[in-house]
Amino acid sequence: MIAKITGERLGRLGLPALMALAAGLSGCAVQTPPIAQMEAPQSVAAQKAAQQAVTSQAPAAPTLKRKIALGRITNETNYGQSLLRERSGDPLGKQVADLMSKALTESGAYLVFERPDIGRIQAEGRLTDTKLNLVGVDALIIGSLTEFGRKTVGASGFVSSSKRQVAFAKVDVRAVDVNTGHVFFATSGAGEASNETASTFGFGSQAGYDGTLNDAAIRQAVAEAVSRLSVEMSSRPWQTYILKAEGNRVFLGGGKSQGIKPGMQFSVHTQGEQIKSPQTGALVTLPGQMIAQLRVDALFGDSELNEGSVASMSSGSLGAYRPDQLLIRYDGAK
């Protein structure tokens, strides 16, 4: 490719031409070969297999489910309030209640019991002459949709324009102790959903009113509220009761559906004495005393409501206490 150039010709080319010629000759040089990618000493497949093995061997923390009931969930905003609203209740409040019930159930941390439509369940039981046996719960969840609205924002220029639809929702919930009526936790969740369209010279995407944005915003608000509620509920001690004691065998309430597994350790506590507080006028439960420890040996039952556990005494004894005088708490030990 390199041509033979005489000295006379070089003299006539001049300095700029010589520089251009040198650049062209350098471009004809042999290029550096591409860098070959080298794999680590352990292949990618082997690394993934090792990571999966470590993950499978890591002990999973058990989730002991709490029993909760979903109470009143209403729409306290101006949205959807009209004279034509159905008499049996507000549709938006029912939507929030259904989404919250679904989120609580799918979280895997609760046994959820129905309360808003309890009248319909009782009416169905009367049709079949079936007695409804209500189950006691650890907490009652009450709340409302406190903020909800939509807005449209946009910008327009000489040749282009854009429009953005935004829906916002806020849900406030509180957890109530069913024994005292005390609100021991309150929180809120917010959600926002939007879509945007743009056009130039009149060409581009266009969209009308999108009603699904309302549902998406409410769903996000409910999910955030349930997440915060779960953090609070998981920090409270999980407890159950003794169904029956036979020598060294103790039958406990709660089984597979509530996250109990063979090998788990539980402690037995006496129920503390209740004294009326002169300060608040409420009953105060004094701390009980731990008297024994149990180890779960087996599970029984076939549904959430009739399951139980069979445990044996690993230390201490029940003494002369009756089962209704004792509480069973999870230690977190295996």
Read off the pLDDT band of 6 (50, 70, 90): very low
- Is the pLDDT at 185 greater than 70? The verdict is yes
Read off the pLDDT band of 170 (50, 70, 90): very high
Least confident of 102-116, 119-133, 239-253: 119-133
pLDDT of residue 43: 52
Query: Phi-psi bin for 73: left (phi > 0), alpha (psi -120 to 50), beta?
Result: beta
pLDDT of residue 283: 79
List domains and CATH numbers for the chain: 66-145+172-188+208-235 (3.40.50), 239-330 (2.40.10.410)
Read off the pLDDT band of 125 (50, 70, 90): low
pLDDT in tens, 294-321: 999 999 998 877 899 999 999 999 988 9
Full 3-state SS string of 201-227: CCEECCCCCCCHHHHHHHHHHHHHHHH
Tokens of 49: 């297999």
pTM: 0.63
